[in-house]
């Protein structure tokens, strides 16, 4: 193994045996499960941005990383790098195969320069610490990470079907049966992280992925926080999903995730967020603070009642939600 000092570690390697004890899976079974017989060159999948378009700068960033991996950079030596899955503010995500086990993963390659420039070092460290310790079928696994002087690489569970947002835009809106399945899985996952005193703080379709069997996975814990003993006051998240507490500059706790769940339910059933407006940020803030939204006529009484209960009064806890959805 290459021991250049620029390389931090190979997170799957056992120093004594050089075996990959964390990922003991059969290559044939893994490839069959993920329907990936090989790694042919494929076209770029739509990015995680809402507009789903790579601009020229984004393309160059993806190509830079692809060139780096193809030239045998030792930081990637344990993986066969596949096609890009998308890009974000700090880097790109690629599908990859761990060479020894054949296990399919997603590599999130982050540029350290961009992280430092945006002063998000603490945020990244917190994301890694929290997500590494979560084990739930509806939460995307973070298997490990490594880095050199230029990049940090997160080794993530591969969610084959991609972003929930992409499927929502493709369908326009989901049926109540399909939406209720996703909300049930979301509620179960949120109940799990809240028992561990973790608040996600950025629930939205772009941060939810779909795996095999249409299983929902909560991803991107960049705004998450571990808050066992006190409330938080950071203003964060996404405009359409910001809760009234943040708009009013008040402390918040895990209940803001329940608020976001209600907003998500509305968006899955209608295709738009309940407080979305063309009047600018100020008008959106006003509508959120006053809980000013209306239901389309085609929603059932049960769907309206559930959303109203969650958004208007926060009156349902996770256990009550699970019973209601069941």
Q: Provide the annotated active-site residues.
A: 202
Find how far residue 291's CA is from the centre of its chain: 26
Q: How far apart are CA 188 and CA 93, in angstroms?
A: 27
* Strand residues in 166-311 grouped as ranges (E): 198-199, 208-210, 216-218, 225-226
Q: Is 16 annotated as a binding residue?
A: no
Cα dihedral across residues 231, 237, 242, 246: positive or negative: positive
Phi and psi of 73, rounded to 5°? -55, 125
Distance CA 221, CA 228 (A): 17
Among 147, 92, 90, residue whose Cα is nearest residue 114:
90
DSSP string, 73-99: -GGGTTEEEEEEEEE-SSEEEEEEEET
Tokens of 78: 């344990």
Instruction: Please state, in angstroms and rounded to a whole number, the distance separating the CA atoms of residues 139 and 123.
Output: 19
Quick one: tokens of 149? 């002087």
108 is in an annotated binding site: yes
Give me the residues paired with residue 105 across strands.
96, 157
157 assigned to a ligand binding site: yes
Q: Are 168 and 264 in contact (CB under 8 A)?
A: no
Is 159 one of the annotated binding-site residues?
yes
d(CA 84, CA 65): 10
**Gap between the Cα atoms of 41 and 27, Å rounded:** 20
Residue 8, classified by CB atoms within 10 Å of its CB into exposed (0-12), middle (13-18) or buried (19+), is middle
**Residue numbers belonging to the annotated binding site:** 108, 157-159, 206-207, 220
**Residue numbers belonging to the annotated binding site for ATP:** 108, 157-159, 206-207, 220
């Amino acid at each position: 193994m290459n021991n250049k000092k620029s390389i931090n570690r190979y997170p799957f390697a056992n120093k004594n045996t050089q075996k990959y004890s964390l990922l003991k899976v059969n290559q044939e079974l893994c490839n069959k499960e993920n329907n990936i017989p090989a790694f042919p060159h494929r076209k770029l999948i739509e990015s995680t941005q809402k507009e789903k378009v790579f601009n020229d700068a984004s393309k160059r960033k993806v190509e830079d990383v692809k060139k780096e991996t193809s030239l045998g950079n030792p930081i990637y030596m344990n993986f066969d790098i596949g096609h890009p899955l998308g890009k974000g503010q700090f880097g790109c995500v690629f599908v990859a195969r761990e060479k020894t086990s054949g296990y399919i993963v997603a590599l999130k390659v982050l540029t350290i320069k961009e992280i430092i420039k945006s002063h998000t070092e603490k945020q990244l460290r917190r994301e890694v610490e929290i997500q590494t310790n979560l084990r739930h079928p509806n939460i995307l696994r973070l298997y490990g990470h490594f880095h050199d002087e230029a990049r940090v690489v997160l080794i993530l569970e591969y969610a084959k079907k991609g972003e929930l947002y992409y499927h929502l835009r493709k369908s326009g809106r989901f049926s109540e049966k399909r939406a209720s399945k996703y909300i049930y899985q979301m509620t179960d996952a949120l109940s799990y992280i809240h028992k561990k005193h973790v608040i996600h703080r950025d629930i939205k379709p772009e941060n939810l992925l779909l795996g095999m069997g249409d299983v929902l996975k909560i991803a991107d814990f960049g705004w998450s926080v571990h808050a066992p003993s006190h409330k938080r006051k950071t203003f964060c998240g996404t405009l359409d999903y910001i809760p009234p507490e943040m708009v009013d500059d008040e402390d918040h706790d895990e209940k803001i995730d329940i608020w976001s769940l209600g907003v998500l339910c509305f968006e899955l059933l209608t295709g738009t967020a309940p407080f979305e407006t063309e009047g600018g940020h100020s008008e959106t803030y006003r509508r959120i603070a006053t809980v000013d939204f209306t239901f389309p006529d085609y929603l059932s009484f049960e769907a309206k009642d559930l959303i109203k209960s969650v958004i208007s009064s926060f009156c349902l806890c996770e256990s009550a939600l699970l019973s209601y959805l069941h």
